[in-house]
Structure 1
Amino acid sequence: MKILTTTTAALMLSALALPALAQDPANCGTVRFSDPGWTDITATNGVAAVLLSALGYTPDIATLSVPVGYEALKNGQTDMFLGNWMPAQQSFRDDLDATGGIVELVQNLEGAKFTLAVNKAGADAGVADFADLDAHRDAFDGKIYGIEPGAPANQSIHAMIEADEFGLGDWELVESGEQAMLAQVTRNASVPTVFLAWAPHPMNEAIEITYLSGGDAQFGPDFGGATVHTLARQEWVEACPNAAKLLSQLVFDVPMENVLMGKILDEGMDPQDAATEWMADNPDRLAEWLDGVTTLDGHPGLAAVEAAVGG
């Protein structure tokens, strides 16, 4: 398959920017996407699911690890993915781009960051930089707390340990899911602890976090400064332009995601319930997301979503 060029992608996205003239065909009714188990993507998936449902589509969200999720997108088992964190997932993105079958619909978030951090006890011990860690190995029990196995950030930590960067060759990466990692950090409140931290996330409000400098080579500059992108299969975009148009206009911000993630993590809300509540409180966002978008059967999309969420 021919690799999708920047020009081709631009032409496709410009076509999406045109007013919708007709509904999608019935076989576009189910929209398949994946969730890596990260609360930020669970939150944005919740928003997408509520919007799609209100428009008459059926969202089908599979819980898949990052590597498996990318394989599913590449192999046509899913249609789109809202969680392409860059540059942390550059290798996965390169693999997808090489197939020529994937298009980026939009950068859906800016201002994100993702790198190692320490809790207050770690900062009080004098750790503010990657290079400070090994001098305090015993206080940290030689452990770095990461997220689920296979995640790109964990791979970066593994590579750092294997290369003995910053003298961390005899440290251990403890791999677990996001919530298990944060539960461990919470239990370790009085113990120096180094862990993966990121924004947006309500952990930044609940835990006194010091993001570590010095990790530019491992996580990128500006404390792992990141953007998040929405990817989709080229064939799906061409076959289902109305749904793709919605996704191309679905852009978030850090404060919004912090609120949504707090509802999910701290209040125990279902992601779609949290998204519905947020949209009812912020109806002004709906117009930009739904500009030119119809329901699956061709009726005005904004009115359908407003009726569904109470905006």
Structure 2
Amino acid sequence: MARLIALALTGLLLAATPAAAADPDSCTTVRMSDPGWTDITSTNGILGTLLEPLGYTQKVETLAPPVTFESLKNSQIDVFLGNWMPAQSRFIEPLTAEKAIEVIRPNLDGIRFTLAVPAYVAEAGVKDFADLAKHADQFGRKIYGIGPGAPANQNIQKMIDTKDFGLDGWTLVESSEQGMLSQVDRAVRRKEWIAFLAWEPHPMNSQFQIAYLSGGDAYFGPNYGRATVYTVTRRDLSKNCPNLARLLSQLTFTVDMENQIMGILGEGSDGKAAAAQYLKAHPDLLPGWLAGVTTRDGQDGLAAVRAALSKG
């Protein structure tokens, strides 16, 4: 009997003892980058929705891709969910060679990322990069890109500078993602011709009837710029923040998922609110993402996230 009492008391003491912290205090604030892209706002929203109930604080800064990679190298940000490959090869390859950053895993596959035109322009004969120059006057010799410094813009500018596809004399119009899409919207409403950078997942694919152009393999990769997006972090994050790294190593997305979250964003929600709304409707995603992940104080991570979503 005395032995049973002693065992019971030991169990009570162990239950009352707080679990060991999963990650040190230096990992509490998770600094992230958003280049101003709707898809990254969506995925950052997903991660932020998971991090908060786990005891972390997400801090997102708006940084262009070149600044993002430099900040990862200098450990000024911790995580970037938007390493589009092969478009960002020129940025990532020197850093991986120097072991200046960590590539955690691919988080999204099966996407397209290249130039596009409205469907009525494709029907008029523009289906390939080589068709652009044949209709230079109708396009105003312009190609619309995204924010200055984006790798995709640099690819377009290189294409113009080398006079590839007969595009000498053309101009790359750099703007924000929303600025570019405003130009597309204006052109479509007026049935004007426009060539622009397009990708999926993105609501533009349902908002407009567009056609992706073939022939840009040398600049955007084969199969209409078929791309893979990777999660990358500052160096030694996996070593120093193993619980956070475990979550990142299990976090993946799908084109349909991101399209739905971006659709919610389009209704006026911010990234976290849109992500929370989506996750409440798709709770089956949580066990795979949170397997073996704990809160920062060592408690059950899945239970903590479920509890937070149920209160929201």
TM-score when normalising by structure 1: 0.91
Mapping 1:213-292, distance limit 5 Å = 213-264=214-265, 266-292=266-292
Instruction: Quote the offset at 1:103 in angstroms.
Output: 1.7
Instruction: Tell me, yes or no, if the aligned pair for 1:23 and 1:295 is still in contact at 8 Å.
Output: yes
Letter in 2 for 1:94: E
Partner of 1:128: 127
Partner of 1:37: 36
**Aligned to 1:310, what secondary structure does the other structure show?**
helix
Letter in 2 for 1:142: R
Letter in 2 for 1:206: Q
Partner of 1:9: none
Letter in 1 for 2:119: K
Instruction: Quote the offset at 1:123 in angstroms.
Output: 1.5
Letter in 2 for 1:256: M
Letter in 2 for 1:127: V
1:91 paired to 2:105 = no
Partner of 1:146: 145
CA distance in 1, matches of 2:183, 2:287: 41
Instruction: Quote the offset at 1:34 in angstroms.
Output: 0.7
* Equivalenced residues, count: 291
Instruction: Tell me, yes or no, if the aligned pair for 1:294 and 1:301 is still in contact at 8 Å.
Output: yes
CA distance in 1, matches of 2:62, 2:298: 30
CA distance in 2, matches of 1:66, 1:281: 32
Q: Unpaired runs of 5+ in structure 2?
A: 1-18
Letter in 2 for 1:49: G
Letter in 2 for 1:233: R
CA distance in 2, matches of 1:241, 1:93: 23
**Aligned to 2:112, what secondary structure does the other structure show?**
strand
Letter in 1 for 2:304: A
Instruction: Quote the offset at 1:27 in angstroms.
Output: 2.2
Instruction: Quote the offset at 1:135 in angstroms.
Output: 0.9
CA distance in 2, matches of 1:270, 1:68: 24
What does the per-residue CA deviation read over 1:76-135, in whole Å, with 9 as the maximum and x for residues that have no partner? 101111110000000111121122132211110001110000013322321000111111
Mapping 1:28-177, distance limit 5 Å = 28-177=27-176
Letter in 2 for 1:30: T
CA distance in 2, matches of 1:101, 1:132: 41
Q: Unpaired runs of 5+ in structure 1?
A: 1-19
Higher alpha-carbon Rg = 2
Instruction: Tell me, yes or no, if the aligned pair for 1:125 and 1:192 is still in contact at 8 Å.
Output: no
What does the per-residue CA deviation read over 1:45-87, in whole Å, with 9 as the maximum and x for residues that have no partner? 0111111111010011111000001100001101111110000
CA distance in 1, matches of 2:174, 2:144: 6
CA distance in 1, matches of 2:54, 2:86: 33
CA distance in 1, matches of 2:218, 2:235: 33
**Aligned to 1:92, what secondary structure does the other structure show?**
helix
**Aligned to 2:75, what secondary structure does the other structure show?**
coil
Letter in 1 for 2:288: E
**Aligned to 2:76, what secondary structure does the other structure show?**
coil
Instruction: Tell me, yes or no, if the aligned pair for 2:73 and 2:235 is still in contact at 8 Å.
Output: no
CA distance in 1, matches of 2:232, 2:226: 20
- Percent identity, please: 56
Instruction: Quote the offset at 1:236 in angstroms.
Output: 2.0
Instruction: Tell me, yes or no, if the aligned pair for 1:145 and 1:196 is still in contact at 8 Å.
Output: yes
Instruction: Quote the offset at 1:22 in angstroms.
Output: 5.3
- The CA RMSD over aligned residues, in Å, is 1.3
The runs of at least 4 aligned residues of structure 1 exceeding 4 Å deviation read none
CA distance in 1, matches of 2:228, 2:109: 5
